[in-house]
Amino acid sequence: METRRVALITGAAAGIGAGIALRFAEAGYAVAAFDIDGAGAARMAEQLRGLAPSVAIGGDVSREDDAQAAAEKAVSEFGSLDVLVNNAGIEVNGSVSDLTAEAWDRQIAVNLRGVFLMSKYAIAKMRGRGGAIVNISSVHAFVSYASCAAYDTTKAGLLGLTRAMALDHGVEGIRVNAICPGYIDTPLMDRWLDSAPDREETLRQVLSYHPLGRMGTPRDIADATLFLASDAAAFISGASLVVDGAMSVAGH
């Protein structure tokens, strides 16, 4: 009987993370759904149980004890850890002159420190057997937008961290890659559109940015993540895969 692979996914309660968790469960992975919203993680784990074994883990990726506990829980529940998806992230808007030091620090804590901590403790569990880490970055790593100083910084930094981990841990059979999504149709996007002075005009503009004529979906990112985690990508490491419907090459 083939051993079931195990994936630990952060920010799994909603949006892109929920889409990734669902896709991995459909592919037969046991899924550890980790989120700062513990109740949301529990709902997701319950939804996944009809497809594959799953467990909910509540915690903050920027807290070292929580990150270590998440890796320990995945292994204690399922016996191993094969894939880590660093999806959890926040966006704090503002220019350098507008942002408070506290807001800047929180952005760095979640989007960079969190990936460092989760990876540190996941690698300890993968060592000796190999594994794959997929970091969810953003097109903000390549293209800057107004009032996104901290977010742009973290997403660009995440690509540097991806390359460093791929270099350092490739000898251990651990592959590390990043995905850079563009606009994705999630509840967070809906809330952003609702806050615009003219929702329909803003949506029209967003859609016009994409040569493919639509925003991405969580499934689009989930399929790309599953590919990078799979044996089909066995010789891909240190790479950054842009999944944005050609938005960034169109100059947006």
Reported as a pLDDT band with limits 50, 70 and 90, residue 1 is very low
Q: Single out the catalytic residue among 29, 121, 145, 151.
A: 151
* Residue boundaries of the structural domains of the chain: 6-184+218-243
The residue among 84, 61, 73, 76 whose CA lies nearest residue 228 is: 84
Q: How far is CA 166 from CA 44, 131, 185, in A?
A: 30, 11, 30
pLDDT, residue 145, reads 84
pLDDT, tens digit, for every residue of 59-68? 999 999 999 9
pLDDT, tens digit, for every residue of 162-220? 999 999 999 999 999 999 999 999 988 888 888 889 999 999 999 999 999 999 999 99
Superfamily of domain 6-184+218-243: NAD(P)-binding Rossmann-like Domain (3.40.50.720)
DSSP strands (E only) in the chain: 6-10, 30-35, 54-58, 83-86, 131-136, 174-181, 240-243
pLDDT, residue 119, reads 99
Query: Rounded distance, CA 85 to CA 136, Å?
Result: 7
Reported as a pLDDT band with limits 50, 70 and 90, residue 90 is very high
Query: Rounded distance, CA 16 to CA 136, Å?
Result: 9
pLDDT, residue 192, reads 80
pLDDT, tens digit, for every residue of 96-149? 999 999 999 999 999 999 999 999 999 999 999 999 999 999 999 999 889 999
Active site residue 183: no
Q: How far is CA 85 from CA 2, 65, 213, 248, 250, in A?
A: 22, 18, 28, 23, 28
User: Quick one: how far is CA 187 from the chain centroid?
Assistant: 16
Q: Which two tokens stand for residue 64?
A: 């070292």
pLDDT, residue 2, reads 55
Residue found under tokens 């800057």 = 144
pLDDT, tens digit, for every residue of 4-15? 999 999 999 999
pTM for the whole structure = 0.96
DSSP 141: G
